[in-house]
Amino acid sequence: MKKTSTSLADGRELIYYDLRDDTVRDAVDKRPLERTVTTSEIRRDPLLGDAIAVASHRQGRTYHPPADECPLCPSRDGRLSEIPDSSYDVVVFENRFPSLAGDSGRCEVVCFTSDHNASFADLTEEQAALVLEAWTDRTSELSHLPAVEQVFCFENRGAEIGVTLGHPHGQIYAYPFTTPRTALMLRSLAAHKEATGGGNLFDAVLESELAGERVVLESEHWLAFVPYAAHWPYEVHLYPKRRVPDLLGLDEEARTEFPQVYLELLRRFDRIFGEGEPPTPYIAAWHQAPFGALEEFEGVNRDDFALHLELFTIRRTSGKLKFLAGSESGMSVFINDVPPERAAERLREVAS
């Protein structure tokens, strides 16, 4: 992998990740851009204790442009985009309309390929491995920023999810706090450790799922399963079998095997609902241990946390979506229409 860091016309950082070491990236952003002005603010909810990002400048972000005006495609034929070069393998750049900025963290865009009509599932194993390297590198770099406590790499795919740009891409949020979902995991982890005299909850979950009926895919170094209490109609959790706290901790064997396993999972997701159906909308979310202090989670350290990816779709059956209505949105109590055992069975049935 070759990494080349440069700047866009408004001063935002852009980084090329290339498969070839001899690739030269010297294209200049020729757009007449003014410096980006953001209004991101973090507010704490005094009743729930969680944090909300208020970012009014995002109202002006690009919204469903036609393919020939996509800002994530390379700059070609006189049309200038967010990527100055005429081609790329993987590119990461600071979001022009970030939810988090400055002392409130940082937001980045990850473009998986220059092919506008592709998806992550269309990547080769070599390309997917390069995306993994980019995620890992950005996790490392962002973790050293003074304001950052947690790094979250994720992909939103499909208009039903709320994606406003059709180009295959993901995002990275670098939060200035431990996110509420991670805090819940850490509290459960601490309680289990105390109750069992030092046992690890993630290890216990993996052991239980490995022996059960919800395994979707297993390889030498990875395990994918539908969790016992899945929130979403089709939800898969992907864990490295050797517990590590973050992407930086993956060994070479797990890194080498990841593209094959992950691409197979994504391709199965596209086959869940049968031939002729539109691509399955999904969210793919990496859960990593916070880099900030963990004193409030008594007895827990970073190495107790288990890196894992959660992949889920909001589509519950052909042509129907799972909406977060009263119980889910009002009380955070999910109601799942698809039994997790049946979801796992279906995901095994559609193996390539």
Dihedrals phi, psi of 259, to nearest 5 degrees:
-55, -45
Chain centroid, CA 74 distance in Å: 23
Q: Which of 64, 167, 169, 287 is catalytic?
A: 169
Q: Which amino acid belongs to residue 186? A: L
**Token pair in block for residue 61:** 């972000």
Strand order in the sheet with 282-287: 2-7, 13-18, 90-94, 106-111, 169-175, 150-157, 282-287, 308-313, 234-240, 222-225, 215-218
Could you identify the residue written with the tokens 């229409």? 337
CB–CB of 174/150 below 8 Å?
yes
Q: How far apart are CA 304 and CA 290, in angstroms?
A: 11
169 is catalytic: yes
Residue 53 β-bridge partners: 42
Q: Which of 183, 181, 202 is nearest to 193 (CA)?
A: 202
Rounded CA-CA distance 274/277 in Å is 6
Q: Which helix (H) or strand (E) holds 127?
A: helix 125-143
Tokens, residue 214: 């919800």
- CB neighbour list of residue 143: distance below 8 Å, 6 or more residues apart: 151, 291
Q: How many alpha carbons fall within 13 Å on the CB side of residue 5?
A: 8
Beta bridge partners of 52: 43
Query: Do the strands 315-317 and 308-313 form a parallel or antiparallel pair, or are they unpaired?
Result: unpaired
Q: Provide the annotated active-site residues.
A: 169
